Amino acid sequence: RDFVTDREMAALRAIAERGMTHGGGSGGPTVLDLVSGALSKGDKFVSVWALLNSTRARPIATEGELDLLERVYERIRATAE
């Protein structure tokens, strides 16, 4: 079953790409968990939300994109239950 449309996937991918520019592990891939905000940075995980607040960096998502993210989470949760 498809959980997202092509348009929704493009928006979710854009959020992830913008978020991952703030991280970068010391090896292997960069990991970003948008649910918890965990972002690999160096040899540890940090909160991408706290990092953005502390550096006053440009947000990785608009309000509309965050709403989309929540709708997709709910759609997946409802299907899994």
- Taking alpha carbons only, the member of 46, 37, 41 closest to residue 15 is 37
Task: Tell me what percent of the chain is helix, strand and coil, each rounded to the nearest 5.
Answer: 50, 15, 35
Tens digits of residue pLDDT in 8-56: 999 999 999 999 999 988 888 999 998 899 999 999 999 998 988 888 8
pLDDT of residue 1: 58
pLDDT of residue 3: 80
pLDDT of residue 25: 80
pLDDT of residue 42: 92
**How many Å apart are CA 62 and CA 51, to the nearest integer?**
17
